[in-house]
Structure 1
C-alpha cells in the first residue's frame, strides 16, 4: 500500500471503531478479516496509527473544538499529521490528492485548519489537566482520590503502548524453551519480572508469525493477569470455579496450575465468550475444564453447588481503568457516574453469590482490572463484615514475593509502578467452621 492508501484505510477503520458499539480490538479484528489482501507490514502501520489516534482522542478533540471543527476521523487525522508528525499543509495536500485508494482532496476549509494548526504541538498550556492526560471526567475524581500526588504520573503511564506479554503453557512447554524459540524467530524476549511462566517480548511482531501461539504453547496474557491467576493457587485434584471467566485467559492459567488434574468450571453469562474459551482450552491441551453458561449472577446452579469448591475466582466486570493503555478506546466507552454506581452494585452481588460456592477452608479471590478504590478495596471492606465466615488473607502470607506490589493486604498493580495493566486482587479464606449466621 502507498502511504496515502494507508491513511485512507485508517480513516475508514476509525469510522468503524466510532460507529460500532464494541471494543476497538474486536472491531479491528473483524475489519481486517474482511480485508485479507492487506499485508502484515501495512496492517501493522495502520494499527499503530489507529491506536496512536485513540491515545490522543481528547487532545485532538480539544484542538478541533478550539478551531470550531467537527470531531470526526478525517479531521482527527489531519490534526494528528500536523500537531504530532509536524507535516506542513503542502505535504499533507500531496497525500490527500484524491487518487486511487488515497483520501479525497483537501477542501479549502480543511486547508485553512492545517494552516491554523501549523507550528503548534499536540499539548497546549491552555488544556485542562484531564484533557492533557486523556482522563474522562467520570473517572477523574475517583482516580485523584486513589493516587493523590501520583495522579499525573499514573495517567501519563496509561498513555504509553502496552507491552506484549506471553504466558507459557507448562502442559506443553517450558519458559526456557519458549525463550529460545522466540530468539530463533529473531525476537528479543526476557522472563517476566514476577510471573513465573511469563515472557515479555520487546518487539511487536505479527501474531500470525508466532507458531507457539497456534500450537497452544503460549497464550497472550498481561503479567498482571497472570499474577491474579497465580493467587488462586489451584492444586492438582481440586475443584475450582472461574466465576466470570470470559474467554478463559485466567481459566487456562488455573487449569495449567493443576497439571490437567481435578476440575475447573468456567462460568459466564455470555455464551459467545465461553465458546471462544472452549476452543482455546482444546488448543492448549487442557481437558479438566468444563464451561457453564449462567443466566445471571444468582443462577440456580450456584445454589445446587453451594460449598462445593476449593477455590473460587471472581474476576468481576469493572470499569477497566487498568487496561486503558492496552484498550485506549475503553476510557471513552466506560460508564458515566450513574453507570459506575450500577457497576459497583453488580460487583457486590456477584461477589456475594460466588462466595456461596466456597467450601469451608476454601479460598475466594476477588479481582478487577480497575484502579478505582470503589471497585476494589471498598468492595472487600463491605463484603467481609457482611460475610463473617470469610477473612482476608494478607498478601505476605499467600505470595510474599509480591509484597512490594501490595496495597495494604491486597495485590495492587499499576502501569507506572509495575509496568503491567492495572490490577487489584484480594485473597479471602472461608473459615473451616462457619460461625453462626456466617455468609
Structure 2
C-alpha cells in the first residue's frame, strides 16, 4: 500500500469514528476483520497514525479554530501531518493527489491551513492548560481536585501509549517458563514486581508474535487490573461472583486463583460481553466458571442468592478516566452523554445490590478504572454509611505487599506514579452477624 493509500485508509477510519457512536476499539476491530490481507507494517502504520490523531484531539482542534478553518477529519489530518509529523508542503501535496486510493487534492482553505501551520509546534504557550493536556471540560475540576500539584504530570502520563502487560495463566503455564520462551524469541520482557503472574513487554509489537495468547497460557491484562483481581483473594473451593464481568479479564484471573476449584459466576447485562468471556474461559481451560446474564442490577437472581457467596467483585461501570492512555477517544465521550451524577447513582445501585450476595464474614471488593473521587472514596463512604454490616479491610491487611498505593486504606493506582492504568479498589467485609436492617 502506498503512503497516500495508507493516509486515505486512516482518513476513512477517522471519519467513521467521528460519525459513529461506537468506541474506537469497536470500529477498529470491525475494520481489521475486513482487512485481513493487509500486512502487519501497513496495519501498524495506519493504526499508529489514527491513535496519534486521537491523542492530540484537543490540540489539533485548537489550532484549526485559531486559524478560522472548519473542523473536519481532513483538516485534522492535515494539521497532524504538519504539527505531529513535521511534513513540508510539497510532501503533503504529494499525498493529496486525488489518484486512485489517495486523498482528494487540497482545497484552497486546506492549503492555506497547511501553510499557516508551517513552523508551529503542537503545543503552544497560548493554549489553555486543559487543551495542552487533553483534559475534557467535564473532568477538569474533579481531576484538579484529585491530583492538585500533580495534575499536569498525571495528565501527561495519560497521554502516553501504555506498555503491553500480560498475565500468565497459572492453570497452563509458569511465569519463569514464559519469560524464557520470550527470550528465546528475542522478545524483551520482564516480570512485573507487584504481581505474581504478570510480565511486561519492553516494546510494542504485533500480538501475532506473542506466544501463548492463542492457547490461553497468556492474557493481555494491565498490571492494575491484575492487582484488583488479586484483592478478591479467592480460594479454591469458594463461591465467588464477578458481578460486572464484562469480557472477563478479571474473571479469568480469579478463576486461576481458585485453581479451577469451587464455583465462579460471571455476571453482566450484556450478552455479547458474556459470550466473549465464555470464549476466553474455554481457551484458558477454566472448568469452574459459568456465565449469568442479568436484566439489571436488581435482577431476581440476586435476591434468590442473597448471602450465598464468599467473595463478590463489583468492577463497576465508570467514567474510564484511568484508561485514557489506552482509550484516548473515551475522554471525549462518556460520561457527558448521561452526566457524572447519573453514573455515580448507577454505581451506588449496583454496589448495594451486589452486596446482598455476600455471606456473613465474606469479602466485597468495589473497583473502578476511574480517577475521580466521586466514583471511588465518596462512593465507598456513602455505601458504608448506608450498610453498617460492612467495614473496610485496610490495604495493609488485605495486601500487605502493596506498599505504594496513593491511598492509605484503598488501592489507588495512577499512570504517573505506578506506570499502570488508573485503578481504585476498596476491600470490604461483612460482619459475621449482620447488623439489624443491613
TM-score > 0.5 by shorter chain: yes
Q: Which residue of 2 aligns with 1:35?
A: 35
Q: Which residue of 1 aligns with 2:355?
A: 355
Counterpart contact for 1:23–1:329, Cα < 8 Å: yes
Q: CA deviation at 1:403?
A: 2.4
CA distance in 2, matches of 1:411, 1:172: 28
Q: Which residue of 2 aligns with 1:140?
A: 140
The one-character-per-residue Cα deviations of 1:200-240 (angstroms, maximum 9, x if unpaired) are: 01121211232410000000000000000000000000000
Counterpart contact for 2:96–2:105, Cα < 8 Å: yes
Q: Which residue of 2 aligns with 1:275?
A: 275
Counterpart contact for 1:56–1:134, Cα < 8 Å: yes
Counterpart contact for 2:69–2:109, Cα < 8 Å: no
More deviation in 178-187 or 255-264?
178-187
More deviation in 254-263 or 181-190?
181-190
CA distance in 2, matches of 1:148, 1:165: 29
Counterpart contact for 1:167–1:219, Cα < 8 Å: yes
- The answer to whether residue 184 in structure 2 is matched with residue 187 in structure 1 is no
Q: Which residue of 2 aligns with 1:215?
A: 215
Q: Please list, as runs of the form range in 1=range in 2, the aligned pairs for 1:282-321 lying within 5 A after superposition.
A: 282-321=282-321
- The answer to whether residue 72 in structure 2 is matched with residue 72 in structure 1 is yes
Query: Tell me, what secondary structure is at the counterpart of 1:402?
Result: coil
Q: Which residue of 1 aligns with 2:15?
A: 15
Q: Which residue of 2 aligns with 1:422?
A: 422
Q: CA deviation at 1:405?
A: 1.4
Query: Tell me, what secondary structure is at the counterpart of 1:80?
Result: helix
CA distance in 2, matches of 1:435, 1:138: 39
Query: Tell me, what secondary structure is at the counterpart of 1:326?
Result: coil
Query: Tell me, what secondary structure is at the counterpart of 1:91?
Result: helix
Query: Which runs of 5 or more residues in structure 2 are unaligned?
Result: none
Q: Please list, as runs of the form range in 1=range in 2, the aligned pairs for 1:56-205 lying within 5 A after superposition.
A: 56-205=56-205
Q: TM-score, normalised by structure 1?
A: 0.98
Q: CA deviation at 1:337?
A: 8.6
CA distance in 2, matches of 1:47, 1:415: 22
Query: Which runs of 5 or more residues in structure 1 are unaligned?
Result: none
The alignment of Structure 1 onto Structure 2 pairs a total of residues equal to: 438
CA distance in 1, matches of 2:75, 2:110: 8
Query: Tell me, what secondary structure is at the counterpart of 1:286?
Result: coil
More deviation in 131-140 or 97-106?
97-106
CA distance in 2, matches of 1:80, 1:166: 32
Query: Tell me, what secondary structure is at the counterpart of 1:361?
Result: strand
The one-character-per-residue Cα deviations of 1:321-380 (angstroms, maximum 9, x if unpaired) are: 000000000000112296110000000000000000000000000000000000000000
Q: Which residue of 1 aligns with 2:376?
A: 376
Counterpart contact for 1:138–1:337, Cα < 8 Å: no
CA distance in 1, matches of 2:20, 2:181: 38
Q: TM-score, normalised by structure 2?
A: 0.98
Counterpart contact for 1:166–1:219, Cα < 8 Å: yes
Q: CA deviation at 1:406?
A: 4.1
CA distance in 2, matches of 1:238, 1:290: 14
CA distance in 1, matches of 2:66, 2:193: 44
Q: Please list, as runs of the form range in 1=range in 2, the aligned pairs for 1:212-251 lying within 5 A after superposition.
A: 212-251=212-251
